[in-house]
Amino acid sequence: MMANRRLVNALVLALLYWRRRQGRTRRMWVNKYVKLRESLGEFHRLVGELRLNDGEDFREYFRLSRCQFDDLLHRIGPRLTKTNTRFRKCIGPAERLAICLRYLATGDSYHSLSYRFRVGWTTVGMIVPEVCKAIWEGLVAEFMPVPKEEDWREMARQFHTHCDFPNCVGAIDGKHVRIVAPPRSGSLYYNYKGTFSIVLLALVDVNLCFRIIDVGAYGRGSDGGTLRDSAFGQALQAGTLELPPDAAIPGAEELGPLPFTIVGDEAFPLRRNLMRPYPGRNLPRRRRLFNYRLSRARMVVENAFGVLAARFRMYHRVMGQHPQNVEVCVKATCVLHNLLRRDAPPRTSRSPSTDAPVAPATSSLTLASVTRQGANNATVEAVRVREAYTAYFSSEAGSVGWEAAVP
């Protein structure tokens, strides 16, 4: 008897709830301001005017020229095309691309963009990561391919010509991208600057182009730890990057063949293919010369980060609390940066020490391969490689005129 009464009460409550739901109607299907998108929205009004005016205004608005915008739309348009339904007309690929590029260029909130383009803010939140993913997938193969041996050789030739650092194939550094702390993430994303972030680790060439990037590491980690845990760092450690064989420096064949190296700051470990500066202040002149030459070569990655952040102002804002969305936005800006650098004027040589190309090794002298001394120490081979570069920069063959001012 008691069970039957409970069943009747449950059925009555379910019926009352159903009637209440049936009597509830939606306040509106589409907001009034969204209905006027095609007549008053920013894409249909302002962007159309910018296309007819001077091209510089269009470039300032999107960070791309009209030709670059149309070319990008042609590349990724099929990935962004949606189907119209009986209920509403879809947002076209050109408008989706415009919303995404404006977010990357300004870092404005989704709510702000939703009012300006007259679309729902949740729609903006879906459009931005979707378009960024399409940009990355559509451009990465052409504008950020993994370097091969010939690419490494060309990068080394440019570093020798423009930065007076032979056998250098790139400069590496990390950049913290600020985000809102994800829920229940603890201190994973809390960095030494007192903010929450993910890390963009990048290898940059002389032309300020990103050649290899790793995005998404926890902000609390160091640059060295980020490199160690990245696919690029593991390939560098395993020797599977297809770096060219060791080569003698022209004019300093007596030093023997030296490995092709990457330059970084003191946050990175010293390895055979990764040079870092000497620590300390009261250093002899020959070591100060090495640090100065390495710093001069390493400045390209700092310049690249500066250009990237100045062009895409989202890096000056604190981005959302979904690291996956932030990661895909960072990847999109990096590959767009390379697209824009392709059309930039070529860099001119400032003070090359020699115009001779990097020659293959002819000496039988080799650097001994020695196991690690300890968990936190560089190998003897890595130390000897750095000493060899130090000796070269201090010699007559490796000196340049402007270094006479170095005390």
Q: What is the pLDDT of residue 385?
A: 94
Element containing residue 210 per DSSP (H, E): strand 210-218
Low-confidence residues of the chain: pLDDT under 70: 1-2, 18-30, 344-378, 401-407
Label residue 216 left, alpha or beta by phi (over 0 means left) and psi (-120 to 50 means alpha): left
Contact 261, 163 (CB under 8 A): no
pLDDT tens digits, residue range 248-303?
A: 998 888 888 999 999 999 999 999 999 999 998 889 999 999 999 999 999 999 99
Helix (H, G, I), strand (E, B) or coil at 204: strand
Measured CA to CA, the distance from residue 303 to residue 208 in angstroms comes to: 7
Terminal Cα distance for the chain, rounded:
100
Answer whether 0.75 is exceeded by the pTM: yes
Q: What is the pLDDT of residue 352?
A: 41
Which of 132, 169, 163 has its CA nearest to residue 150? 169
**CB 300 within 8 Å of CB 205:** yes
